[in-house]
């Protein structure tokens, strides 16, 4: 069997990239060895997740701290690795300061990381294998294409996934996504995780449409039958605590229902920075005493245990931007109804939930409170149909044991396409 190089942001360090916990066992079964390189891991940072047998992690050990994060791109800029006018790009970016500055920073950062990865792999006695898999259509993809150039045995097959922030320019803090044309030109296959992302990429770069095809993500763990309970209402949210997730809307909507006499409780699983968590606790303090449980960060196994045992009425996801929300899939696997904003793959996930329409991305507290009340007043038979339909939809199209196993086998079959 061939070997695989997987470039992540942080996994198995830090938080996030939870889908890889389900995907890695299938990759390990399809390849002789999987080498994971977390491109944002910093020196002294301990791993937070275990990896299965057959997976080797090569940390890059970037300098720690904010200043340390800038050392890598600044070193490449001083070295002259990024030329004036950005000649590495197939076409010039829009003539404006932000695109030009961000393109230069992005390329310098990617080149610095690629240089460091090359050293770390050599130190570990590992050569770049036949297939290189970038988990994000962003820095990891550019690093993958730079590593591919220097493989003496021939250029490996380079594939990448595309999720949410790496597709949606609206999610960018600077309103710009770098190297779209270059990355699409250099990868052999781009696998968006949703039809919405794929269509956006094909529309923007039709000359590369033949490289773009959807490969779904999946979740593990399901119940034999729906576990949800309609009354009394118990709202569940599972996400990091940050601005994009808009948890303040959930807190305020639950509080509004309570003031209107609706018995409702709320549990949140997930953490954030100390400041973000403190702000959420202050918000939750306005609600009925004892009606809120802010659990903090928990492993995926605990999320699945909570879904199976706490019998939530509805899972709520009001994120501003998503790829394929893991929490939504996990809720579906347990037959839990979902209220979610119409972003990312939510429409594809919840296709069979017509009784609970998707939420508009620009919703407010009153709208969310009304949607929650709509779940509360559903006839019991209609509520039960939603639960059963969600679980059936997960089994048909989002079960990691099927979709991720197929994807791993497909990646292994690409090894024969190495260019000599």
Cα Dmax for the chain? 71
187-197: average pLDDT = 94
pTM of structure: 0.86
Please list the residues that pair with 399 across neighbouring strands. 219
In this chain, the answer to whether the domains covering 3-218+401-417 and 233-398 adopt an identical fold is yes
What average pLDDT does the chain have? Answer: 91
pLDDT given for residue 87 in this prediction: 72
pLDDT given for residue 88 in this prediction: 77
290-297: average pLDDT = 93
53-72: average pLDDT = 86
Is the pLDDT score of 215 beyond 70?
A: yes
Strands (E), 15-156: 33-38, 55-57, 131-134
Under CATH, to which class is 233-398 assigned? alpha beta
Distances (CA, A) of 352 to 140, 179, 383, 394: 34, 37, 13, 10
Pull the structure tokens for residue 162: 């595309």
pLDDT given for residue 300 in this prediction: 85
Query: What is the number of H-type helices and E-type strands within the chain?
Result: 14, 11
d(CA 45, CA 59): 9
pLDDT given for residue 135 in this prediction: 98
The region of weakest confidence among 70-79, 131-140, 347-356, 398-407 is: 70-79
Coil, helix or strand at residue 34: strand
Q: How confident is the model at residue 66 (pLDDT cuts 50, 70, 90)?
A: confident
The region of weakest confidence among 60-74, 246-260, 311-325 is: 60-74
**Closest C-alpha to 333, from 220, 238, 217, 222:** 222
Chain segment 336-395, per-residue pLDDT in tens: 999 999 988 889 889 888 789 999 999 999 999 999 999 999 999 999 999 999 999 999
Instruction: Specify the fold of 3-218+401-417.
Output: Rossmann fold (3.40.50)
Q: How confident is the model at residue 220 (pLDDT cuts 50, 70, 90)?
A: confident
Rg (CA), the chain: 22
Is the pLDDT score of 332 beyond 80?
A: yes
Is the pLDDT score of 169 beyond 60?
A: yes
pLDDT given for residue 85 in this prediction: 64
Is the pLDDT score of 399 beyond 90?
A: yes
pLDDT given for residue 32 in this prediction: 96
Q: What share of the chain is helix, strand, coil (3-state, %, to 5)?
A: 45, 15, 40
Distances (CA, A) of 156 to 96, 132, 329: 35, 7, 33
403-410: average pLDDT = 95
d(CA 339, CA 353): 10
276-288: average pLDDT = 92
The region of weakest confidence among 14-28, 91-105, 188-202, 256-270 is: 91-105
pLDDT given for residue 81 in this prediction: 67
- Contacts for 84-93 with beta carbons within 8 Å, 24 or more apart? 88/182, 89/179, 89/181, 89/182, 90/181, 90/182, 90/185, 91/181, 93/176, 93/178
Is the pLDDT score of 182 beyond 60?
A: yes
The region of weakest confidence among 6-15, 62-71, 122-131 is: 62-71
Is the pLDDT score of 301 beyond 70?
A: yes
390-401: average pLDDT = 92
Domain borders along the chain are 3-218+401-417, 233-398
Is the pLDDT score of 244 beyond 90?
A: no
């Amino acid at each position: 069997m061939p070997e695989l190089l997987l470039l992540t942001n942080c996994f198995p360090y830090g938080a996030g990239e939870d889908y890889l916990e389900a995907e890695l066992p299938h990759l390990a079964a399809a390849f002789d060895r999987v080498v994971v390189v977390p491109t944002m891991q910093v020196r002294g940072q301990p791993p937070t997740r275990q990896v299965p047998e057959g997976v080797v992690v090569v940390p890059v050990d970037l300098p720690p701290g904010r200043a340390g994060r800038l050392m890598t791109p600044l070193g490449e800029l001083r070295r002259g690795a990024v030329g004036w006018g950005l000649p590495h790009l197939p076409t010039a970016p829009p003539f404006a300061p932000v695109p030009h500055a961000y393109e230069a920073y992005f390329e310098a950062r990617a080149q610095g990381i690629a240089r460091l990865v090359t050293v770390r792999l050599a130190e570990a006695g590992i050569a770049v294998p036949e297939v290189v898999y970038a988990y994000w259509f962003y820095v990891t993809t550019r690093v993958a294409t730079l590593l591919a150039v220097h493989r003496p045995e021939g250029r490996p097959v380079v594939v990448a996934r595309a999720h949410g922030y790496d597709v949606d320019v609206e999610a960018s803090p600077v309103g710009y996504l770098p190297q779209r044309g270059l990355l699409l030109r250099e990868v052999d296959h781009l696998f968006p995780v949703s039809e919405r992302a794929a269509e956006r990429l094909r529309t923007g770069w039709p000359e590369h449409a033949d490289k773009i095809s959807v490969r779904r993500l999946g979740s593990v763990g399901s119940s034999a039958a729906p576990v949800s309970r309609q009354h009394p209402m118990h709202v569940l949210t599972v996400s990091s605590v940050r601005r994009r997730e808009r948890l303040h809307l959930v807190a305020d909507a639950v509080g509004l229902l309570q003031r209107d006499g609706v018995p409702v409780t709320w549990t949140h699983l997930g953490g954030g920075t100390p400041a973000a968590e403190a702000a959420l606790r202050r918000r939750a303090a306005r609600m009925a005493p004892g009606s809120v449980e802010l659990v903090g960060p928990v492993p995926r196994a605990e999320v699945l245990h909570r879904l199976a045992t706490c019998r939530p009425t509805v899972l709520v996801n009001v994120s501003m931007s998503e790829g394929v929300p893991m929490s939504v899939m996990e809720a579906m696997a347990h037959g839990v109804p979902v209220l979610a904003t119409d972003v990312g793959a939510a429409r594809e996930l919840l296709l069979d939930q017509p009784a609970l329409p998707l939420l508009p991305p620009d919703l407010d507290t009153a709208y969310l409170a009304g949607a929650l009340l709509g779940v509360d007043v559903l006839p019991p038979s209609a509520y039960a149909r939603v639960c059963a339909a969600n679980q059936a939809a997960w089994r048909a199209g989002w079960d990691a044991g099927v979709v991720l196993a197929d994807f791993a086998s497909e990646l292994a079959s690409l090894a024969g396409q190495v260019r000599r």
